[in-house]
Amino acid sequence: MSVAFLFPGQGAQYAGMLHDIKNKWGLATTFEEASEVLNQDVLSLDSSEKLKYNKNVQICLFIAGVATARSFKNKGYSPEVVGGHSIGAFGAAVASEVLSFKEALLLVKKRGELMGNAYPDGHGMGVVMGLREHQLLSIVHELSTDAAPVYVANLNAPDQITISGTLKAIEKVLEKASKKGARKTKMLHVTVPSHCPLMEGVSNELRKTITEVKGKDPIVPFIGNCKARKLWKAADVKEDLAASVALPVRWHDTTEVMYEMGTRLYIEMAPGRVLTDLAAKSFPEARAISAAESTVKTLMILMEKEKM
């Protein structure tokens, strides 16, 4: 049996989260290192006002995930496989030692800046629950236009899928999805149309930067966002990090690959809970737990049992 570390993406953030994590996990050095790299106090970035900006959200989520994973590592506990949802993939890249903390943090900052500047207004994301991918694709293809495009984005579960594009088109898709039997639809509090072709320019710019980073081959399997496959080469991980900005995140497939590898304990790094719920629903024979909602002692005991 094996343990997987899951690194959450946008939507997991909340005001004060870095302060909470620092107090709980006691890794002051991670926050000091991040502040030195960015030349600013990162603990000032998790206020409700600062988290209105995409770049700050991405930076905070990255730092939170790495700080949690480092706490395990410092106590002698490591995962057998890692994966991250969207921005979470950068934390997974650090946990698998493909990128150094500094390298990844600077890339995350660049990613956040590029994404935040790409579409200042009129774009975003929505989520549809209760329809399968082929059903939602049919609706999207019917309603998407050159003037108001919309795309299927993150495949979080077989019946939980996000869409990205113009707000006008997203609203039409959500309305049609409800009429076609979706049990729930809603607009997300996201101002960027992530993981769709509208982000190809961002992806290309990020690729130029990330290719300048040498990186190292992962010490444990890294499951990529784009194709949900085990990646063993630094070049493949870096390409996945760059490409995924403009491609759907195949998250359910990612966790399914982990399960097929023998994962029976999924631990979601702070501050997330959503990935925990998704794994628990998809793999009832496994155990999924949120580090943010558990104690360090409990998590250590669970990891020891899983490795027996």
Q: Are residues 165 and 181 in the same domain?
A: yes
Q: How many domains does the chain have?
A: 2
Of the residues 71, 144, 164, 195, only one is catalytic, namely 195
Residue 232 has pLDDT above 70, yes or no: yes
- pLDDT more than 90, % of the chain: 90
Residues 246-292: pLDDT tens digits? 999 999 999 999 999 999 999 999 999 999 999 999 999 999 999 99
Range of the domain at 182: 123-191
> Is the pLDDT assigned to residue 308 strictly greater than 70?
no
pLDDT at 36 over 70: yes
The rounded distance, in Å, linking the Cα atoms of 284 and 252 is 14
Tokens 């607009």, located at residue: 187
Reported confidence tier of residue 49, pLDDT bands at 50, 70, 90: very high
Which position among 71, 86, 203, 244 bears the catalytic label? 86
Q: Are residues 185 and 203 in the same domain?
A: no
**pLDDT for 188:** 94
Q: Select from 146, 168, 191 the last residue of a domain.
A: 191
Strand ranges, E, within 55-174:
81-84, 123-129, 150-157, 160-166
For position 181, which CATH number holds? 3.30.70.250
Long-range own/partner contacts, residues 34-42 (CB < 8 A, 24 or more apart): 34/59, 34/63, 34/101, 34/105, 37/101, 37/102, 37/105, 37/106, 38/105, 38/109, 42/18
Q: Is 195 designated active site?
A: yes
Last residue of a domain, one of 155, 175, 191: 191
Domain check: are 34 and 135 in the same one?
no
CA pair distance 73, 97, nearest whole angstrom: 12
- Say whether both 80 and 202 belong to one domain: yes
What CATH number is attached to the domain comprising 60? 3.40.366.10
- Pair (159, 296) in one structural domain: no
Predicted confidence (pLDDT) at residue 25 exceeds the cutoff of 80: no
